[in-house]
Amino acid sequence: MKALGRHIVAELSHCNSEILTDLDRVQAAMVQAALVARAEIRELAFHRFYPTGVSGVVVLAESHLAIHTWPDVGYAAIDVYTCGDTAEPWRACRYLAEQFGCQNMHTTVMDRGIPSANGEYGHRLTVAENREQLLAVSTA
């Protein structure tokens, strides 16, 4: 059965630390990722931590994109959750990996809101172990 939404949890490693600590660049990348994914932006909330790190969320009509960065280790944790048939969450993941200079991306994908015969909703998990696999999965 068709899921109501797709939630991609992405672990981006070996990223450009200078970008990950820059609130303006992280926010701009997240906004553009939403647009690249063909999502409709509703609100933004971003915060810069000192000495390093950025957290933020782009609220979408379709759900959200969220990020937490650890520039000191070149790591970004990203959630891309979209519902409906319009938005393309894999496009957002690929765009963000490129913008942050990511050298390796591990992902877990959860198809959420899968209806059962008894009226309850559940989810299904899939995993792509690295960026090369992610690109292969996203074009399927």
Q: Catalytic residues, which ones?
A: 63, 68, 83
Q: Which is nearest to 26 in space by CA: 87, 89, 68?
A: 68
Alpha helices in the chain (DSSP H): 17-20, 23-36, 89-99, 131-138
Q: Which two tokens stand for residue 11?
A: 């672990």
Q: What is d(CA 39, CA 59) in angstroms, rounded to the nearest whole number?
A: 10
Q: What is d(CA 98, CA 14) in angstroms, rounded to the nearest whole number?
A: 12
Q: Which helix (H) or strand (E) holds 123?
A: strand 121-128
Let me know: does 6 contact 110? Beta carbons within 8 Å: yes
Alpha carbon 53 to its chain centroid, in Å, reads 17
